[in-house]
């Protein structure tokens, strides 16, 4: 099919998440919804019917135990149980609060407090963090003495109890009609205690994104869920949309198992952030290089591209061993969360894998634009999903209006009013829209550092940690070549007295190590750059950001 505009895909419109699952169960109850591997047990398959049965059973248990309407936080690695919790909570009148498992206990405690969570469901692997976080929460907030928590491993028991309740005719959960305008989920934008904001999403928001997004892109095979579920992209796009397509999702529990999981899952489509694409690309060339075949690979890619121009497509045969790195059947990669260099798109295309860039933000539930299967443009973020409006404001800031736009930030009217005006969400991203309808992004209005793994890192948070050291007079943290750089103007008096001559860089590298300790890898400062003079400042003496 030629690369040109074509009719939108036609999928049944869903009212809410419950409606979505029920439709799938009615259509094909025995279709496998999820697969995953467990140590000792091997491969586990869950059909759409199994999934809905587990949701209703656990939801019934939640209702019976007075958790209807409560804010329930979920923390843990990607798992089937995580998804059962999310659906059971959001389809029964409670509010799900997905949390980043990589955050330290202090931040988890802050987010539990900030989101008014009354319950925490956590995976057993994060027992210590959960315990510490709850202790801190109760110590700091006396009224939180009744805070409840349980492990995901207990879910099996609750599901069994829920099934017994259902058998006895306890139907409050099953009969519950979802108020689609009500908040059903609070998702945090970036995991920093100072600046993280809780995005309030309703079922209307999420479902509008699913309905609108699935009309632009079509999924015709199985996928693998690699991105963390606490991210809107990893959850709404990589899981919920796939459910709407009625396809099978292989759940990757740990990135350490990714290679093995890809061999088993053999995904037709993968949803990734640029960091994965870049790393897979690097691995392919490193492996080829070790065998002395990297130049041959490049030559073969050139040859294949020439053949492709004359209509001969033998990429699947030529690059079988390359494609094997992703399981052998991958046709599409939907890439979002951060910009991806066009060279990667071209190289993957040479191998027979089309990378379709997508653009979104948690505040827009999250998908805003995506390239289409047969209508795409390298370097563009895609075309608008169905049912929303995109326009450009001052400085070409991208603005979005429509049912996907969040209800606001939880308990933060000031922050909400800053970004939501007359129904338009001001994304803070800069870009333009061409005559073909493609949105292309050119930069970021806000200060956040967007790394290629899609993570947002708040420079202010890191700067605050460095300022605890007397030797740091001024500091500016920014992203550079996918690395976090901390540029420091040392306190001359302090270092003259306390640091051995010629050891200045070493001294600050040591501070950097201390700051980095216990931070998720993506939040670690990769380079310290020392400067001899003060930073340029604005009239109110604030350091000017680049």
Binding stretches for another protein (CB under 8 A): 77, 101-102, 125-126, 128-129, 254-256, 259, 275-276, 278-279, 283, 286, 453, 482, 509, 512-513, 516-522, 524-527
Choose between 102 and 347: whose C-beta lies nearer to another protein. 102
- 386 vs 208: CA distance, rounded Å: 9
Minimum distance of another protein from residue 255's CB (angstroms):
5
Minimum distance of another protein from residue 234's CB (angstroms):
15
CA 104 distance to own-chain centroid: 18
Choose between 28 and 37: whose C-beta lies nearer to another protein. 37
Minimum distance of another protein from residue 76's CB (angstroms):
10
Cβ pair 270, 333 in contact under 8 A? yes
- 136 vs 106: CA distance, rounded Å: 7
Q: Judging by DSSP bridges, how do beta strands 472-480 and 483-490 pair with one another?
A: antiparallel
The pair of three-digit structure tokens given for residue 280, joined into one six-digit string:
């897979």
Q: Residue 308: which residues within 8 A CB-CB, separation 6 or more?
A: 315
Minimum distance of another protein from residue 41's CB (angstroms):
16
Minimum distance of another protein from residue 544's CB (angstroms):
26
Residue length, the chain? 546
Choose between 365 and 456: whose C-beta lies nearer to another protein. 456
The pair of three-digit structure tokens given for residue 175, joined into one six-digit string:
């009969």
Question: H helices of 352-433, where?
Answer: 413-419
Report helix angle 48-64 to 17-27, nearest 10.
Answer: 140
- 414 vs 393: CA distance, rounded Å: 21
Question: H helices of 219-336, where?
Answer: 232, 241-245, 258-265, 274-290, 294-309, 315-318, 320-324
Minimum distance of another protein from residue 125's CB (angstroms):
6
Choose between 128 and 497: whose C-beta lies nearer to another protein. 128
Exposure b/e, 213-225, CB count within 10 A at least 16 = b = bbbbbbbeebbbb
Q: How far is residue 445 from each of residues 393, 428, 519, measured CA to CA in Å?
A: 12, 5, 26
Q: What sign results for the dihedral spanned by CA atoms 338, 339, 342, 343?
A: negative
Choose between 77 and 363: whose C-beta lies nearer to another protein. 77
Q: For 113, phi and psi rounded to 5 degrees?
A: -70, -50
Choose between 57 and 152: whose C-beta lies nearer to another protein. 152
Minimum distance of another protein from residue 104's CB (angstroms):
9
Minimum distance of another protein from residue 516's CB (angstroms):
5
Q: What sign results for the dihedral spanned by CA atoms 500, 502, 508, 513?
A: negative
- 246 vs 200: CA distance, rounded Å: 27
- 493 vs 501: CA distance, rounded Å: 13
Cβ pair 90, 185 in contact under 8 A? yes
Choose between 126 and 469: whose C-beta lies nearer to another protein. 126
The pair of three-digit structure tokens given for residue 355, joined into one six-digit string:
């990378």
Cβ pair 98, 86 in contact under 8 A? yes
Minimum distance of another protein from residue 445's CB (angstroms):
26
Choose between 279 and 317: whose C-beta lies nearer to another protein. 279
Choose between 278 and 397: whose C-beta lies nearer to another protein. 278
Choose between 368 and 472: whose C-beta lies nearer to another protein. 472
Choose between 221 and 520: whose C-beta lies nearer to another protein. 520
Minimum distance of another protein from residue 521's CB (angstroms):
4
Minimum distance of another protein from residue 254's CB (angstroms):
5
Q: Residue 199: which residues within 8 A CB-CB, separation 6 or more?
A: 186, 187, 188, 189, 232, 362, 363, 406, 409, 410
Choose between 214 and 226: whose C-beta lies nearer to another protein. 226
Minimum distance of another protein from residue 352's CB (angstroms):
23
């Amino acid at each position: 099919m030629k690369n040109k505009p074509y009719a939108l895909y036609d999928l049944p419109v869903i009212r809410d998440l419950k409606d979505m699952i029920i439709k799938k169960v009615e259509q094909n109850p025995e279709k496998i919804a999820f697969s995953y591997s467990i140590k000792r047990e091997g491969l586990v398959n869950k059909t759409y019917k199994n999934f809905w049965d587990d949701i209703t059973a656990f939801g019934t248990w939640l209702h019976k135990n007075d958790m209807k309407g409560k804010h329930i936080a979920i923390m843990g690695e990607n798992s089937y149980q995580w998804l059962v919790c999310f659906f059971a909570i959001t389809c029964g009148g409670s509010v799900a609060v997905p949390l980043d498992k990589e955050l330290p206990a202090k931040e988890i405690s802050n987010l539990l407090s900030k989101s008014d969570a009354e319950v925490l469901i956590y995976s057993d692997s994060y027992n210590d963090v959960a315990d510490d976080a709850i202790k801190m929460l109760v110590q700091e907030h006396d009224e939180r003495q009744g805070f409840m928590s349980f492990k995901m491993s207990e879910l099996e028991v609750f599901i069994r109890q829920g099934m017994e309740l259902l058998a006895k005719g306890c139907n409050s959960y099953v009969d519950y009609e979802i108020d689609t305008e009500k908040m059903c989920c609070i998702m945090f934008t970036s995991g920093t205690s100072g600046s993280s904001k809780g995005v309030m999403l309703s079922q209307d928001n999420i479902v509008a994104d699913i309905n609108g997004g699935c009309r632009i892109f079509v999924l015709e095979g199985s996928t693998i869920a690699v991105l963390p579920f606490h991210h809107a992209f990893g959850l709404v796009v990589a899981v919920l949309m796939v459910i709407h397509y009625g396809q099978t999702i292989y759940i990757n529990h740990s990135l350490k198992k990714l290679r093995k999981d890809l061999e088993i899952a053999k995904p037709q489509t993968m949803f990734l952030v640029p960091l994965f694409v870049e790393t897979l690309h690097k691995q392919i060339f490193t492996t080829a290089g070790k065998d002395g075949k990297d130049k041959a690979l490049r030559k073969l890619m050139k040859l294949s591209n020439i053949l492709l121009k004359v209509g001969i497509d033998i990429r699947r045969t030529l690059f079988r061993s390359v494609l094997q790195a992703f399981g052998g059947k991958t046709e599409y990669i939907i890439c979002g969360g951060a910009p991806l260099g066009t060279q990667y798109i071209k190289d993957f295309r040479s191998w027979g894998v089309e990378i379709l860039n997508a653009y979104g933000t948690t505040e827009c539930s999250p998908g805003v634009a995506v390239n289409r299967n047969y209508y795409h443009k390298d370097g563009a973020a895609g075309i608008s999903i169905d049912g929303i409006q995109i326009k450009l404001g001052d400085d070409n800031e991208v603005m979005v209006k429509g049912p996907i736009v969040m209800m606001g930030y939880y308990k933060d009217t000031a922050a909400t009013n800053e970004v939501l005006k007359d129904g338009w969400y001001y994304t803070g991203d800069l870009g333009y829209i061409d005559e073909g309808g493609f949105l292309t992004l050119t930069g970021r209005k806000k200060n956040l550092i967007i790394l290629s793994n899609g993570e947002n890192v708040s420079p202010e948070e890191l700067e605050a940690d460095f300022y605890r050291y007397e030797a740091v007079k001024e500091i500016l943290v920014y992203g550079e070549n996918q690395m976090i750089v901390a540029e420091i103007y040392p306190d001359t008096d302090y270092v003259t007295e306390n640091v051995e001559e010629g050891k200045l860089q070493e001294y600050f590298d040591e501070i950097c190590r201390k700051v980095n300790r216990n931070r998720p890898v993506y939040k670690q400062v990769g380079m310290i750059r020392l400067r001899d003079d003060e930073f340029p400042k604005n009239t109110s003496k604030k350091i000017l950001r680049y």
